Amino acid sequence: MGMKDFREMKRRGEKIASLTAYDYPTARLLDESGIDIILVGDSLGMVVLGFEDTTEVTLEMMLHHTAAVARGVKRALLVADMPIGTYDTPNEALATAKRLVDVGAQAVKLEGGASHVAQIEAITRAGIPFMAHIGMLPQSVREEGGYKVKGRTQTEADALIADAKAVEQAGAFSIVLEIVLPDVARRISEAIAIPTIGIGSGENCDGQILVTHDLIGLFPWFTPKFVSPEARVAEEIRKATTAFIERTRNGSHNIK
């Protein structure tokens, strides 16, 4: 799918569906199901690697998982997250983006708005498609002291709209809006021509993204409030494991 198609989808009012993947089978299943965008998110750190937040994720980890996902994707757009500490300068941002592209990413994402225009321009001028991420920034969760809703004050809402315009101007093809007040998410979506992809930001965004583990109930120890899981995969794994343990202990592993 080309970059222009996403703007066109927004223009036509067609919503963009996006999910995360970190491994080959999940990526292939999402791709075969018709998802528009697959993100190798640095949420990898929490839902796959067992860290407390995304701040432990390294570029080596992202490269390893992006390569696996790339092997499973044929038609969706594959976006990879740039982990914390890998885009502090425009040169560093470009070098990181190139390494992710080398292992199969078709686009990259970093967290930040107007503050990161120089990095975004370095990436887009090199011809690498770029997805922005504003609102709640998980890589800053420690400084922020939690995952807090953004856009509650007029100043915060104005800053988010300015961020969205700045990243659009810098060449982003879409913007993730994370936990932004729905009314502010609507105003941002109306203020720019590129699509907004919301997570916990209400229905007025041009598309939606979720962490797949949350959607399918594969990480039962924590589910964000805004997620309505569509499946209970953790329960299925527990059931299958218990059944296997019982069969093993009963000695009923007959070869058919």
CB closer to ligand KIV out of 20 and 106: 20
- Least CB distance to ligand KIV at residue 16 (A): 13
Task: Give dist(CA 207, CA 174) in Å, integer.
Answer: 10
- Least CB distance to ligand KIV at residue 254 (A): 43
Task: Give dist(CA 88, CA 248) in Å, integer.
Answer: 53
What 3-state DSSP class applies to 51? coil
**Of 8, 14, 143, 178, which one is the catalytic site residue?**
178
Q: Which two structure tokens, joined as six digits, stand for 44?
A: 């990898």
How far from each other are the two terminal CA atoms of the chain, in whole angstroms?
45
Catalytic-residue membership of 235: no
- Least CB distance to ligand KIV at residue 212 (A): 9
- Least CB distance to ligand KIV at residue 209 (A): 5
Task: Give dist(CA 20, CA 111) in Å, integer.
Answer: 16
What 3-state DSSP class applies to 122? helix
What 3-state DSSP class applies to 105? coil
CB closer to ligand KIV out of 9 and 205: 205
CB closer to ligand KIV out of 82 and 184: 82
DSSP H/E element including 10: helix 3-12
77-81 and 130-135 beta bridge pairing = unpaired
CB closer to ligand KIV out of 78 and 211: 211
Comparing every residue's Cβ against ligand KIV, the nearest one is 41
Nearest in space to 81 (alpha carbons), one of 40, 45, 116: 40
CB closer to ligand KIV out of 53 and 156: 53
**Residues in contact with ligand KIV by the rule CB under 6 A:** 20, 39, 41-43, 81, 133, 176, 199, 209, 211
- Least CB distance to ligand KIV at residue 57 (A): 9
As to burial, measured by CB atoms within 10 angstroms (0-12 exposed, 13-18 middle, 19+ buried), residue 90 is middle
Measured CA to CA in angstroms, residue 178 lies from 23, 71, 209 at distances of: 23, 28, 9
The catalytic site residues sit at 178
